[in-house]
Structure 1
Amino acid sequence: MSLQWRYRVRPDGSFTRVANINGALDNVSDEELARLDTAIGGEGQDPESARPCSRCPGELLLYWHGPLATGVWMELCPACDAHRPAARALIRWHRDPDRDPTALPKLFEDWESETMAAHGWFRATPE
């Protein structure tokens, strides 16, 4: 079984990530993915950035459940995480009105790896 992620970036910088198992979504266009996102309530929801940071009084740019079974809740806070290289790069991307959506997968996965490592979890390397 192979797993890759498909990302759908909205104009405000928020996004969804969908598991593309064994290439099942390879033939699904970005427009079709956007329609699916809208159908399941991805558009028009309250922005996730309104959530407060658990470490400071500021608001998060992003919060995300860590990989399954880890119990880690990942937060991206501009004030608390700006010193971390991968977090800083994702913060810059998120705030850039001319953001390149194709850069998101690497930025997100680098941030996820950096955040999970801070909690003692490390990504398995392919054999």
Structure 2
Amino acid sequence: MSFTWRYVVRPDGSFCRVGNLNGSLDHVGDEELARLHPAEDEQPARPSSRCGADLLLHWHGPLMTGVWMELCPACDAHRPAARAFIRWHRHPNRDPGALPRLFEDWETETMHAHGWVRAPQPQAPPSPPVPLRLIPRGQG
């Protein structure tokens, strides 16, 4: 079983993340995926729990962690992954293809600040060796 994320980025920089179990969404184009996951009603800006400034993004941390992730330009500009994500979010010509790496780096950095560490991805077991088939000389 494999699991990856597909990202839908809207022109305003908002986005959603959709689970792609066993490649079930590999055949779905970005436009169709955006239609399947329309933008939710605009929510009012949420203040940072640290400084009270408006957040660029608020997100639930990974399942079962209970972490509420906040992207605050005032509080997070010193953190490398957050700073890169803030720049992407504010850039008028943002590259949608950069979002998965930026989001995952920010998520990793934020979760680390809350005492969590991302588990390494399991490696596929090596294939068993192909048995040698020996034949006498001159018969092969």
TM category, shorter: over 0.9
Q: Which residue of 1 aligns with 2:42?
A: 46
Q: Which residue of 1 aligns with 2:78?
A: 83
Q: Which residue of 2 aligns with 1:37?
A: 37
User: Greater RCO between the two (CA within 8 Å, min separation 6)?
Assistant: 1
Q: TM-score, length-normalised on structure 1?
A: 0.92
Q: Which residue of 1 aligns with 2:68?
A: 73
Q: Which residue of 2 aligns with 1:13?
A: 13
Q: Which residue of 2 aligns with 1:25?
A: 25
Q: Does 1:111 align with 2:101?
A: no
| Structure 2 residue identity aligned to 1:46 | E
Structure 2 residue corresponding to 1:62, chosen from 57, 64, 85: 57
Note the alpha carbon deviations across 1:51-80, whole angstroms, 9 max, x for none.
Answer: 111111210000000000000000000000
* Number of equivalenced pairs: 122
TM-align CA RMSD: 1.1
Instruction: Quote the Cα distance in structure 2 between the aligned partners of 1:94 and 1:115.
Output: 17
Q: Percent identity?
A: 73
Q: Equivalent residue of 1:107, what SS? A: helix
Runs of 4+ in 1 over 4 A off after TM superposition: none
Instruction: Quote the Cα distance in structure 2 between the aligned partners of 1:15 and 1:121.
Output: 24
Distance apart, 1:47 and its partner CA: 4.4
Note the alpha carbon deviations across 1:78-118, whole angstroms, 9 max, x for none.
Answer: 00000000000000000000110000000000000000000
Note the alpha carbon deviations across 1:13-35, whole angstroms, 9 max, x for none.
Answer: 11000000100000011111111
Which of 1 and 2 has greater Rg? 2
- The structure that is helix-richer by fraction is 1
